[in-house]
Amino acid sequence: EDEKRKYVKGKKLGEGTYANVYLGHVRGDPSALVAIKKIKVQQQYRDGMAPDAVRELKYLRELHHPNIISLLSVFSSKDQNLNLVLEYLPLGDLEMLIRDVDRVRYGAADIKAWMGMLARAVWFCHDNFVLHRDIKPNNLLIAADGEVKLADFGLARSFADPGRRMTANVITRWYRPPELLFGARHYGGAVDIWSVGMVFAELIIRAPFLAGNTEVEQIALICKHIGTPTEDNWPGVTQLREYTVPSEVVPVWGKDAYMGRFGAVGPDGVDLLVRTVALDPKKRITAREMLEHRWWRTDPKPTRKEDLPRKS
């Protein structure tokens, strides 16, 4: 209750699937802006994780990193709604920049800077045993100084206990990895890495890379553009409960096949991209390995955050 009184709620900033977001400020300090995210009642019990929801928030509260949105406070209002007080990020999100092709121009150095910030955010989550499970351009918000911040931890959870089954029904379809599309109930950080790969591809081509209208279509697009998951490239895949692929098997595309469409980030960038979209989650690059990749050190150097393109 003390926490609730600390903030003054202002105008509505936006409405999401799980929450309404309001501008707010610290009581007594109108310049100390915050975003207050009020979780919709029926959404608090999604994913059968109601008892976990508060616990997960506790983890998020402890995730302090420049590329992860800061959770400043949590309180429940009189109607039992959960309210998250978050740092206010005024410059929109990465999706807005990607889509505004006419007005926003960016190049390989900018993509490298944004991807570096995303990779560090994901590494920090995984290093703290937190899976985000909804990485997409729309959840990458931009701070006043250009820093990209991973936001919307509404589906996040701890994966500290690998013995526990988790729902496969997470991650927005276009960014969802094949193991989840095949119904895997035991998974790890690799699910977020696939999403990172999809964001990387989308930053380059400025359109969603694999935009399936259904889960079946999503699997078909993965098979067509990346390759068909088989026992050869992914031992055990055919045992997953919802494994089905189009009958015409497509061999996994090599780096060269990606160069035409994604070559703007150079051969090292394409190498990193290909490693993020390895079909077998065991072979997919980890967040730590991403940070050690040579692409970050080859020219061009990543753009300084203050110099990154912003919405007009």
Within 13 A of 293's CA, how many CA atoms are on the CB side?
24
Binding to ligand ADP, residues 149-188 (CB under 6 A): 151-152
CA 87, distance to chain mean position in Å, is 18
Determine, following the binding rule CB under 6 A, whether residue 8 of this chain makes contact with ligand ADP: no
Nearer to ligand ADP, 139 or 276 (CB): 139
**Residue 100 is a catalytic residue:** no
Please state, as a whole number, how many other Cβ atoms lie within 10 Å of the Cβ of residue 72.
Answer: 19
CB of 15 to ligand ADP, least distance (A): 6
Other Cβ atoms less than 10 A from the Cβ of 95: the count is: 16
266 in contact with ligand ADP (CB under 6 A): no
Near ligand ADP by CB under 6 A: residue from 10, 16, 266, 309: 16
Q: How long, in residues, is the chain?
A: 312
Considering the complex, what minimum distance in angstroms separates the CB of residue 243 from ligand ADP? 30
**Residue 14 sits in the site that holds ligand ADP (CB under 6 A):** yes
- Helices 108-127 and 190-205: angle between axes, nearest 10 degrees: 170
- Closest approach of Cβ 136 to ligand ADP, in Å? 9
Token reading at 240: 């997953």
Choose, from 93, 134, 152, 192, the residue flagged as catalytic. 134
Q: Give exposure, 294-308, as e/b (b: 16+ Cβ within 10 Å).
A: ebbeeeeebbebeeb
Question: In the bound complex, what is the minimum distance in angstroms from residue 25's beta carbon to ligand ADP?
Answer: 12
Binding flag, residue 89, ligand ADP (CB under 6 A): yes
Any residues with CB less than 8 A from the CB of 104 and at least 6 apart, and which? 97, 309, 311, 312
Handedness of CA 35, 41, 46, 48 (dihedral sign): positive
**What is the spatial distance between Cα 228 and Cα 252, in angstroms, rounded to a whole number?**
7
Contact flag: residue 21 with ligand ADP (CB under 6 A): yes
Q: For residue 56, give both structure tokens.
A: 């997960």
Shortest separation between residue 153's beta carbon and ligand ADP, angstroms: 10
* Residue closer to ligand ADP, measured from CB, 152 or 192: 152
Spatial contact of 85 and 72, defined as CB atoms under 8 Å apart = yes
Show contacts with ligand ADP in window 22-51 (CB under 6 A): 35, 37
Quick check: 104 binds ligand ADP (CB under 6 A)? no
Q: Which two tokens stand for residue 202?
A: 């989308």
Q: What angle do CA 102, 104, 194 make, to 5 degrees?
A: 110
- Per-residue binding string, ligand ADP, 134-153, x by CB under 6 A, is ----xx-x---------xx-
> Rule CB under 6 A: is residue 17 a binding residue for ligand ADP?
yes
Binder among 19, 155, 223, 308 for ligand ADP (CB under 6 A): 19
State the DSSP H helix or E strand holding residue 15, giving kind and residue range, or none if neither. Answer: strand 7-15
Q: Does 88 bind ligand ADP (CB under 6 A)?
A: yes
Shorter beta-carbon distance to ligand ADP: residue 44 or 228: 44
Angle between helices 255-262 and 266-276 (to 10 degrees): 120
Number of residues that bind ligand ADP (CB under 6 A): 17
**63 binding ligand ADP? (CB under 6 A):** no
- Residues involved in catalysis: 134
**Positions that interact with ligand ADP (CB under 6 A):** 13-14, 16-17, 19, 21, 35, 37, 69, 86, 88-89, 138-139, 141, 151-152
